[in-house]
Amino acid sequence: MDLTYTPEEEEFRVRLREWLAKALPELPARPDPLDWPARRAYDLGWQRRLYDAGYGSLHWDASPTQRLIFLEETELAGAPYVGANFVGLLHAGPTIAAEGTDEQRARWLPPILRGEAVWCQGFSEPDAGSDLAALRTRAVRDGDDYVITGQKTWTSHAEIADWCELLVRTDPEAPRHRGISWLAMPMDAPGITVRPLRTLAGPAEFAEVFLDEVRVPVANRVGAEHDGWRVTMVTLSFERGTAFVGEVVACRRTLGGLARTARVNGRWDDPVLRRRLGRLNAEFTALWRLIQWNVGAAGAAGGTPGAGGSVFKLRYSQARQELYDAAAEVLGTAGALDADQEWTAARLSSLSYTIAAGTSQIQRDIIAERLLDLPKGR
């Protein structure tokens, strides 16, 4: 696969770089990380600016290479990350674009792109995380509505979300993978209770969501009734395959900064640490190449990243943890416990990456079964 960019693509990069140089200095100050409504407003405001400048739909509505250039340049320029728009832009939106009807695309995609709607993901349940097909939240058909009762957990951004990509069991008699449906649920529907969960890293990023006879129109179902598992595989392949792509660029920036700090504070004299930073640099460079390959292959195969994303997710989430371990060593105890706690928070939250979007063990199972064609272990 040819990974070099065409002159047109390089021209796109230059134009974007120029636009970012003008737009970023005009941005308001970043909000307090504990203030979720302010973070919502900030992230939606940035998305609106991207939309107005014609860059709003690059996450799913552009050539794979343009998308990579966009992610690379916005990160290199230090632009805000997707933040509260994570689910909408990086996996609910792409799923609706790939699997929704024309009417559904027209209804839900423009508000995501214009920075008017935040989405969350209601997949995990107390007894259905890695074994997602064990989910028990029930949806019973009543006329033109589903009536939904159950509980979701670990729902990131539930407190500030307008919509939820929700998995429900529509046929309790069918084999586990066959009786599930994928719905778009408005978060202001009566019967929804959101209880924030605090984490090791501090701010209440996610929540438990209780559903008590919540009515959702049948028209909000994406894909056929009981065919939600197939739609879910599309969502997860975006979530694992492309959603963390921009963060790799951020990690490379962080690593560069650490190497500079090590030179200044004397840690660079330690050959073991130097080798560790060098290995991480090689690792993130290789991950970026893997992304280029995966995204290119997905483009050629009609847009869905497939199980190849699991290879990236497995290695990226581990490399990110190793990066923040190395950071603690470069900065030492005093530096790692900096006054604004930024490094501490980043290190603590890096621990969650080998769990969120499917644990490393589950990614290994997927790679073994779907890519290496090894026999099922269970």
Ligand X SMILES: Cc1cc2nc3c(=O)[nH]c(=O)nc-3n(C[C@H](O)[C@H](O)[C@H](O)COP(=O)(O)OP(=O)(O)OC[C@H]3O[C@@H](n4cnc5c(N)ncnc54)[C@H](O)[C@@H]3O)c2cc1C
Q: Which one of residues 62, 359, 367, 369 is an interface residue with ligand X (CB under 6 A)?
A: 359
Q: How far is the CB of 222 from ligand X (least distance, A)?
A: 16
Residue 24, interface with ligand X (CB under 6 A)? no
Q: How far is the CB of 125 from ligand X (least distance, A)?
A: 8
- Single out the residue of 47, 155, 181, 304 in contact with ligand X (rule: CB under 6 A): 155
**Strand pairing partners for 151?**
210
Alpha carbon 321 to chain centroid, angstroms: 17
Q: Does 321 bind ligand X (CB under 6 A)?
A: no
Q: Which of 159, 205, 239, 283 is catalytic?
A: 239
Nearer to ligand X, 66 or 121 (CB): 121
**20 vs 231 by CB, closer to ligand X:** 231
Q: Which one of 6, 101, 130, 193 is in contact with ligand X (CB under 6 A)? A: 130
**What single-letter amino acid sits at 288?**
W
361 touches ligand X (CB under 6 A) = yes
Q: Is 129 in the site for ligand X (CB under 6 A)?
A: yes
Of residues 95 through 124, those in contact with ligand X by CB under 6 A are: 120-124
Name the residue with the smallest CB distance to ligand X: 129
- For the question of residue 159 being annotated catalytic, the response is no
Candidate list 151, 156, 281, 321; residue touching ligand X; CB under 6 A: 156
Closer to ligand X by Cβ: residue 302 or 377:
377
Q: Please state the closest distance from residue 213 (CB atom) to ligand X, in A.
A: 21
Interaction residues for ligand X, span 198-237 (CB under 6 A): 206
Asked if 85 interacts with ligand X (CB under 6 A), we say no
- Which span (70-78, 135-143, 322-330, 349-357) binds ligand X, by CB under 6 A? 349-357
Exposed e or buried b per residue across 116-148, where buried means at least 16 C-beta atoms within 10 angstroms of its C-beta: ebbbbbbbbbeebbeebeebebebeeeeebbbb
Which of 12, 353 has the CB closer to ligand X? 353
Q: Are 20 and 46 in contact (CB under 8 A)?
A: no
Contact flag: residue 294 with ligand X (CB under 6 A): no
Q: Residues with catalytic annotation?
A: 239
Interacting residue ranges for ligand X, rule: CB under 6 A:
120-124, 129-131, 154-156, 206, 352, 355-359, 361-362, 365
